[in-house]
Chain A
């Protein structure tokens, strides 16, 4: 679910394990989604994207899954490394133009050695 106030949901994983970060989006008309990684004090970094006509897309060590039925998006990171520690945001691009992205609340990923 969404977080309220100043508390980011946190996911702690052991180095080498797989991580799954979830995101629920709100607009059923959204047709394009992006996952971003944000390290402290930096701007968001593009990780992977997916269009609504797909349900899965793979990149290097990352996989994004899209379930339009329940409006759910997930990011899977294989063999999580300490450098993966960051806040991860999903973003949706609603249909109808404007190219504006709406961001989710974010998840703090902590990788334990």
Chain B
């Protein structure tokens, strides 16, 4: 299957600082990538849809000024958690669809464990 790489795998930051997470599609181009958040023993919650060359689309309740998304190329999307607080600590995962149509698999990165202290 297609490979999606996420970096870093884990990060610890101080409260008030910002953290950037990268998501790359290694062997295909992705015009659309997705960012999820996952709490322990819970399912994945979609935060936003990242669109190459345009603004991201955020799900209801997700602060766009808090979670900045940039999708500058067909292989890279970044999520920046700004002014992080302990409640932002979570597992963040990105995914990319192979192709633009439905019926095509979505592949995930390995996730980033963010801990805000």
Contact = CB atoms under 8 A, between A and B. Distances in A.
A43 B46 contact: no
A106 B43 contact: yes
Given A6-B42, A7-B41, A100-B46, A43 B106 contact: no
B106 A34 contact: yes
Given A32-B102, A93-B102, A43 B108 contact: yes
Interface stretch (A13-21, A45-53, A68-76, A77-85): A45-53
Q: Which secondary structure dominates where chain B touches chain A? A: strand
A59 B74 CA distance: 30
Contacts of B42: 6, 105-106
Interface in A8-61: 8, 31-32, 34, 36, 41-46, 49, 51
A102 B44 CA distance: 8
Contacts, number: 66
Interface residues of B, number: 27
A41 B113 contact: yes
Nearest to B109: A43
A41 B40 contact: no
Interface of A: 6-8, 31-32, 34, 36, 41-46, 49, 51, 89, 91, 93, 95, 97-106
